Each structure stands twice: as C-alpha cells, then as structure tokens.
Amino acid sequence: MILYNVTVKITTDAHQEWVHWMKNTHIPDVLATGLFTGYKMFRIMGDEDPEGVTYAIQYFSPSLDAFLRYRDEHSPRLQAEHAQRYANKYVAFRTLMEEIL
C-alpha cells in the first residue's frame, strides 16, 4: 500500500471553512478518481500557532502505479483549485510513503 500524505497549515481565519470544503468537496473529488481506497484527516497537535492550524490528510493507494496516475492525470487540476480558493492562506507539503509491514 502507498500512503500519500498532504500536510496543510491554513490560516486561523480560513480553517473552519477550509475543513468544510475539504470534507465536502476536495476529498470526495480526490476519491472520485478511483485511485485511492480511503483517507483519514488529522489535526496536528502540540504545535499550536495563533496564525494557523495544521492538518494532515492521508490518502491510501493500492499501488505506486495508481498513485502516479493520480499525480499525472488529476493532481494538477485539484491542486490548482485549492491554490486558487485559498491563495495566500496556506502552506502545504506532500510526502509519499510505502507500507513495509
């Protein structure tokens, strides 16, 4: 299994609307590609910052090929939608992991 983790720090003033949009629009759009089997979303604790809230969204892919297809065929559009909607309100980084046990 491949785990695609997206960590996002969103400004405090935008984070509640962002969580709603992620749960109701963005994550369903990612899953609708058919290239992930599920997801989990977490709020990062222990690093409280008055300027923003940090979240990790983990998407589960059955194979590297499925993830690469998502990256090449769907990710540019979905990331652009996010960037346009939340311009100057977030920072994000992505991590790709392979399950070994």
DSSP letter for each residue of 22-46: IIIIIHHHHHTTS--SEEEEEE--S
pTM score of the predicted model: 0.93
CA distance 88 to 45: 23
Long-range Cβ contacts of 73-79 (<8 Å, 24+ apart): 73/33, 74/30, 74/33, 74/35, 78/26, 78/29, 78/30
Q: Would strands 38-43 and 2-11 be described as parallel, antiparallel, or unpaired?
A: unpaired
Task: Provide the residue range defining the domain that includes 82.
Answer: 2-98
CATH of the domain at 14: 3.30.70.100
Domains in the chain, number: 1
Q: What is the pLDDT of residues 26-40, one digit of tens each?
A: 999 999 999 999 999
Q: What is the pLDDT of residues 40-69, one digit of tens each?
A: 999 999 877 888 999 999 999 999 999 999
